[in-house]
Amino acid sequence: MKAIFEHVSANPRSSFIHKLLEATSFDAPFHFHPQLELTWIVKGSGMRYVGRSVQEFKEGDLVFLGPNLPHCWINQKTEDGVAAHVIQFKEDFLGRDFFTIPEMEHIKRFLEQSKSGFVIAKPTSGIIQEKIQQLSTSPPVKRIYCLLEILEVLASSVDLTLLDESMI
């Protein structure tokens, strides 16, 4: 399967994208983009394709993808449809040098390792899902704070499994 480039339209009122996708099915083709992506499957099940990895996904699935990592979700058809929270951002969304400061070193390392993608297991996935819900109802400054908290939790977690080791 050949991946196609997806242009992610930036929101001029935000430094990153957060959207709740609700549809009858996931319709994005196998694609890639320069943005990093955190996807939480709220409803649905099927197969997840990330790089050369092919795995089942289900409700509660939480995945973090690095930049330019090809991916797509193909769900089983149901009358209930599918839903997912998707957060996308460029590594420099807070400025080119933000993640180079000493306090952000562990997050920078996590972002570099994410080029292979990660599946996030419990208990970390539960913490991240709560933070995503907070983010979705927060005012602008707190949205940035929530995203940084998510990255902090991910960078410190032991509940991460690489998705595509061929990307290392």
Tell if the pTM clears 0.85, that is, is over it.
Answer: yes
Cα pseudo-dihedral 49, 2, 19, 100, rounded to 10: 90
Q: Using CA atoms, how far apart are residues 60 and 76, in angstroms rounded to an integer?
A: 15
Q: Using CA atoms, how far apart are residues 135 and 73, in angstroms rounded to an integer?
A: 23
Residue 38 · residue 86 · CB < 8 Å: yes
Rg (CA), the chain: 15
Q: Using CA atoms, how far apart are residues 36 and 93, in angstroms rounded to an integer?
A: 10
Reported as a pLDDT band with limits 50, 70 and 90, residue 10 is confident
Q: Using CA atoms, how far apart are residues 168 and 49, in angstroms rounded to an integer?
A: 17
Q: pLDDT per residue over 79-125, tens digit each?
A: 899 999 999 999 999 999 999 999 999 999 999 999 999 999 999 99
Q: Using CA atoms, how far apart are residues 104 and 139, in angstroms rounded to an integer?
A: 23
Residue 8 · residue 17 · CB < 8 Å: yes
Q: pLDDT per residue over 139-165, tens digit each?
A: 999 999 999 999 999 999 999 999 987
CA angle 118, 121, 125 (to 5 degrees): 95
Residue 71 · residue 28 · CB < 8 Å: no
